[in-house]
C-alpha cells in the first residue's frame, strides 16, 4: 500500500460528529477514489461508512487523523479537512432555519 496522505483535523461544530455531519462527510468521501480512514487514538474506521464514523464518539474539540491512500488522496484530504474545519456550515444553516421555523 502506498504512503498515506495524513492530516490532523479537529471537530469544530457544537454538537460534534453526529448523524448529519457524518452523512455530509460520507457523501463527500464518496466523491473520491482514494481509500479514506479516520483515526481516533488507535481506533480506525472507514470514512465511507456512517455507522463507523458515529462509533468514534467525536464530540466538539476531538482530534482525529484523516488518512487517505490512492491517486486522489491529497484532494480527498484537503476537501474533507475543509468540511470539518469549517464546522459543517451547511448543517449550521439547516439548524438555524429549523429554529426560525419553530418560533
Which residues carry out catalysis?
Answer: 18
Run of H or E residues at 84: helix 73-85
Surface-to-core class of residue 100, CB atoms within 10 Å of its CB (0-12 exposed, 13-18 middle, 19+ buried): exposed
Nearest to 77 by CA among 41, 32, 10, 15: 32
Amino acid at each position: 500500500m502506498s504512503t498515506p496522505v495524513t492530516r490532523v483535523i479537529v471537530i469544530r461544530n457544537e454538537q460534534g460528529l453526529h448523524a448529519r455531519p457524518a452523512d455530509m462527510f460520507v457523501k463527500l468521501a464518496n466523491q473520491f477514489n482514494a481509500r479514506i480512514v479516520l483515526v481516533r487514538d488507535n481506533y480506525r474506521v472507514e470514512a465511507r461508512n456512517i455507522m463507523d464514523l458515529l462509533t468514534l464518539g467525536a464530540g466538539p474539540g476531538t482530534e482525529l487523523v484523516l488518512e487517505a491512500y490512492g491517486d486522489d488522496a491529497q484532494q480527498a484530504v484537503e476537501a474533507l479537512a475543509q468540511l470539518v474545519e469549517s464546522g459543517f456550515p451547511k448543517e449550521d444553516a439547516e439548524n438555524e432555519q429549523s429554529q426560525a421555523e419553530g418560533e
